[in-house]
Structure 1
Amino acid sequence: MHLSILTSALLTLALFWNQLEYRQLIGSWQLTHFEGMEKIVHSSQYQNATPAERASMDARIRYRLENTVYQFEPGDLLKFTDFENQTVVQKQAKIELSEGNILLIHEEKGDRLAKILEFSEEKMVLQPISKNTASGKLIFERIKK
């Protein structure tokens, strides 16, 4: 019985220590890798493309990575770049960080969810939570000022 209580207490403590605080997210984060883009590179469309078509796809992937930045600001505000009709647009949303390191992003088109799978001062790995779970992880690196 004592072992069960001790185990329970240790698990509770571990969950407490692993819970992020919003203030840890504050700053700018650059998307450096997106698993969904790997699927494109391994797709038959990419593999069967001409060198010029591949170069075009590679350029669009690089453009997407270079232009995807999340800026977490005080006051639970997220400013981020998004793409609409292949054009970079700036957006902002209210954000909540809940238990289990779940991000709830309140956008004008509806709420989105993502789980923070890994976090350090330099790196953050997000897993979108949606019906399309095949979208893959997003890996961000903190932009140093």
Structure 2
Amino acid sequence: MNLSLITSLFLSLLLYWNQIQYSQLIGSWQLVHFDGMEKIVKSPQYQNANPMEKASMDARINYRLENTVYKFEEGDTLKFTDFENQTVVQKEVKIELVEGNMLLIHEEKGDRLAKIVEFSGDRMVLQPISKSSATGRLIFERIKKK
């Protein structure tokens, strides 16, 4: 009985220590990889494309990477770039970091969830949670202040 109580306390402490705090997220994060890139590069459309078409697809991938930045601000605000109709748009949403290292993102169109599956001071891996599709992981690196 005492052993199970000690084990439970130990696991609770371990979960608490592994819980990311919102203050650790504050700052700007650059998208450096998304699993969708691999799907595109491995697709028959890409594989069978001529060099000019491949260059065009590569340019779109790089454009997406270069223009996707998440900025977590004090309080509960996330500012980020998104793409709508092939255009970069700026968005600002309310966000919560909930139990289990889940980001709850409150948008006009409804709430979205993403799990932080890996986190260090300079790297964050998000796994969007969606009923409709498996979008794959998003890998971000912290933008260092100059």
Equivalent pairs counted in the alignment come to 145
Cα shift at 1:133: 4.5
Match for residue 18 of structure 1?
Answer: 18
Match for residue 63 of structure 1?
Answer: 63
- 1:86 equivalent to 2:99? Answer no
- Could you give the per-residue CA deviations for residues 22-60 of structure 1, whole angstroms, max 9, x where no partner exists? 111000000000011111111111111111111000000
Letter in 2 for 1:123: R
Structure 1 contact 115–129 (Cα < 8 Å) conserved: yes
Instruction: Return 5+ residue gaps in structure 2 as ranges.
Output: none
Counterpart secondary structure, 1:88: strand
Structure 1 contact 27–142 (Cα < 8 Å) conserved: yes
Match for residue 106 of structure 2?
Answer: 106
Letter in 2 for 1:18: N
Structure 2 Cα separation of the partners of residues 46 and 29 of structure 1: 28
Within a 5 Å distance, the mapping from 1:46-61 to structure 2 comes to: 46-61=46-61
Task: Point out the more displaced range, 2-11 or 51-60.
Answer: 2-11
* Root-mean-square deviation (Å): 0.9
Letter in 1 for 2:31: L
Structure 2 Cα separation of the partners of residues 132 and 87 of structure 1: 23
TM-score of the aligned structures, taking structure 1 as reference length:
0.97
TM-score of the aligned structures, taking structure 2 as reference length:
0.96
Match for residue 43 of structure 2?
Answer: 43
Instruction: Return 5+ residue gaps in structure 1 as ranges.
Output: none
Match for residue 33 of structure 1?
Answer: 33
